[in-house]
Amino acid sequence: MPADATTIELVEVGPRDGLQNESVVFSTAAKVEFIERVIAAGTRRVEVTSFVNPKRVPQMADAEDVLRLLPRHEGVYYVGLVLNAKGFERAAAAGCNEIGMAVVASDTFNRRNQGVSTEESIAAWLDIARSAKAAGIRPQVTVSAAFGCPFEGEIAADRVLEVVRRVAEAEPHEVALADTIGVGVPTQVTDLVGRVRDALPGIQVRCHFHNTRNTGLANAYAAVQAGATVLDASVGGIGGCPFAPAATGNIPTEDLLYMLARMGVRTGVDLEATIATGRWLQDHLGRPVPGMLVKAGGFPGVSASREA
């Protein structure tokens, strides 16, 4: 682990990536409660919704209402996921203070997910980033399917790196590498994060993992070791992608918190409060969540990663 990797910033993606694939529709009030719970636990960045076509992702149809009902907190960033200029305009009007755009490393997946080529999404992103900065909104970008594509299979690291270089031209707050369908393995993470850091030493690297094949937490460890400083996670490990066949949940926030806290890595997020939110989520979904800590609980002395 690099000497400076004593702090990792978490982005809670449960309210968007976590919920978007759930058949149980959450009320707007329940979403707001979910977001308020993770903020109360210490999280400072929350992907609160996406501004996409509600016909394609019905769970996110209340995006504007969620933003309208959320209390604003000093230092808290409400991230809205956008896939095009129209989505950005909605996110800006709704009051997001950070927007995340996704560009898929694989052209086939980009067309399925957002209806245009990767090249067209890159062009849209460069415009969106400019507009966001002009509006005082923090822009960041995710390169999706960076570790493999459900339609094209392996994506060459050189291709991923090229997409990263292109999106980084906008000088975003950070660039994320996403294992959208959960096929990545730790050696791949070490390699890809290392390459991005070598190619773009000034850029903050975030990683987004799905635990579809149970390698999510190992990948998170590899990412931290390789110098990523921000990780996405969802409480309970809920999630998936409606356009990625058989994709399952994100890495569970509380499981990640446990691992990082015992490694001596600070996150500022309270473990026990996050476990409680996982149980709250479980009650709302009416079924067990994938995360392990919700079942196992913590360990004496690891409950307060906030103070660690």
Write the single-letter amino acid at 98.
E
Query: CA nearest 229: which of 207, 247, 198?
Result: 207
Q: Least Å distance between CB 152 and Mg ion?
A: 18
Task: Please give the sequence-ordered ranges of beta strands (E in DSSP) within 150-215, or none if there are none.
Answer: 175-179, 205-209
Name which of residues 69 to 88 contact Mg ion (CB under 5 A).
none
For Mg ion (CB under 5 A), the number of binding residues is 1
Burial of 22 (0-12, 13-18, 19+ CB in 10 A): middle
Q: Least Å distance between CB 234 and Mg ion?
A: 9
Q: Are 68 and 94 in contact (CB under 8 A)?
A: yes
- Does 179 bind Mg ion (CB under 5 A)? Our answer is no
Q: Least Å distance between CB 249 and Mg ion?
A: 9
Q: Are 170 and 139 in contact (CB under 8 A)?
A: yes
Q: Which is nearer to Mg ion, 142 or 274 (CB)?
A: 142
Contact pattern from residue 8 through residue 47 relative to Mg ion, giving x for each residue in contact according to CB under 5 A and a dash for the rest: ---------x------------------------------
Contact pattern from residue 116 through residue 135 relative to Mg ion, giving x for each residue in contact according to CB under 5 A and a dash for the rest: --------------------
Q: Least Å distance between CB 198 and Mg ion?
A: 25
Q: Which is nearer to Mg ion, 47 or 270 (CB)?
A: 47
Residue bearing tokens 């898929």: 104
Q: Which is nearer to Mg ion, 111 or 133 (CB)?
A: 111
Q: Least Å distance between CB 142 and Mg ion?
A: 8
Cβ-based neighbour number of residue 187 at 10 Å: 11
Q: Least Å distance between CB 210 and Mg ion?
A: 6
Q: Which is nearer to Mg ion, 110 or 303 (CB)?
A: 110
* Measured distance between the N- and C-terminal CA atoms of the chain, rounded to whole angstroms: 18
d(CA 161, CA 126): 17
d(CA 216, CA 136): 34
Q: Which is nearer to Mg ion, 17 or 255 (CB)?
A: 17
Q: Which is nearer to Mg ion, 113 or 118 (CB)?
A: 113
Q: Are 178 and 143 in contact (CB under 8 A)?
A: yes
Give me the helices (H) in 9-156, please: 28-40, 63-69, 85-94, 107-114, 118-134
d(CA 77, CA 252): 20
Of these residues, 96, 149, 207, 241, which one is catalytic?
A: 241
- Is position 149 annotated as part of the catalytic site? no
Cβ-based neighbour number of residue 55 at 10 Å: 7
Catalytic residues, by residue number, are 241
Site for Mg ion, rule CB under 5 A: 17
